[in-house]
Amino acid sequence: METTSQRSQHAVVVDGVTLHLSHPDELPIRWVGQADLMTQLLAAWTIVDPRDLPLNPRLLGKPGVGKTTLAYAAARTLGREVYLFQATMDTRPEDLIISPVVAANQEIKYVASAIVTAMLRGGIVILDEGNRMSEKAWASLAPLLDARRYVESIVAGIKVHAQKDFRFVATMNEDASTFELPEYIHSRLQPQIHLDFPEKEEELLILRENLPFVDETVLDYVASFLQRAHRADEPYTVRDGINIARFAAKLAGEGRQPGPAIIRRSVRQILGEEAEVYAPNPGISDE
């Protein structure tokens, strides 16, 4: 169901109220490796019957394992506009839906959030780090995450219904939850898709994708470091590995490839001295 009477690229009129829309996020992101995770997420969004509804999946994992990257890449696979909303412990219901802003002429201008914009344009919204939000904030999204598929703005005095192509996904860090999710939200955010540390070859693929200008021997060294850290149950992720290799390349200088000593220095400066114990010695295989 849709209540809009007029539409443009940047504004929509809903029940007589003009909503100014957010802009989609354009990011140079591609998902590599762990194809099954992409399959699971796309399946959750699939409609198998005219009477069916999409699910609202939840991506769970440690910080830096690629939850947002997976969500964005999946959305782009479907060719949809993608909108990111970064949740914080200070997120308010109006931040999630519609915010009033005083325009230059001193009139009130209603600005649609990334979530509401995606609803109206049939896009996909990624609610990033959703377990940082309070229950009060989540409560405002409850009707969107069930068969009703709408949100209600007390500020603007309107209900906004989602287009049929609208899709929702939330990412959550397993070790960084500020608030416990209420049970009625748990039941609406399904399925749960868990992301874990990749195997070495998949981490190498990710490192190559992000650092095509860095020598393969450097990337292999960093991947070996990450695998050693994973086996010790350290929280270091491929994001850390990208930063280690990137900083090492900068330390080495333009046109030069960093050696083990420079990489170990980069490990210390990126992650601290305690991480250096996982850096392989030169010539020692990780196998």
What's 19's domain CATH number?
3.40.50.300
25 by Cβ neighbours in 10 Å (0-12 / 13-18 / 19+) ranks as middle
Q: How confident is the model at residue 36 (pLDDT cuts 50, 70, 90)?
A: very high
Residue 210 is part of which domain span?
200-278
Q: Are residues 164 and 242 in the same domain?
A: no
111 bridge partner residues:
20, 99
What distance in Å separates the CA atoms of residue 183 and residue 232, rounded to the nearest whole number? Answer: 34
pTM above 0.95, yes or no: no
Q: Which residue has the higher pLDDT, 235 or 113?
A: 113
Residues 6+ apart with CB under 8 A from 164: 122
Q: How many domains does the chain have?
A: 2
Q: Are residues 219 and 109 in the same domain?
A: no
- Among 194, 220, 242, the domain boundary falls at 194
Considering Cα of 41, then 93, then 177, then 65, what sign does the dihedral take? positive
Q: Are residues 66 and 151 in the same domain?
A: yes
Q: Write the pLDDT tens digit of every residue in 180-235.
A: 888 999 999 999 999 988 889 999 999 998 999 999 999 999 999 999 999 999 98
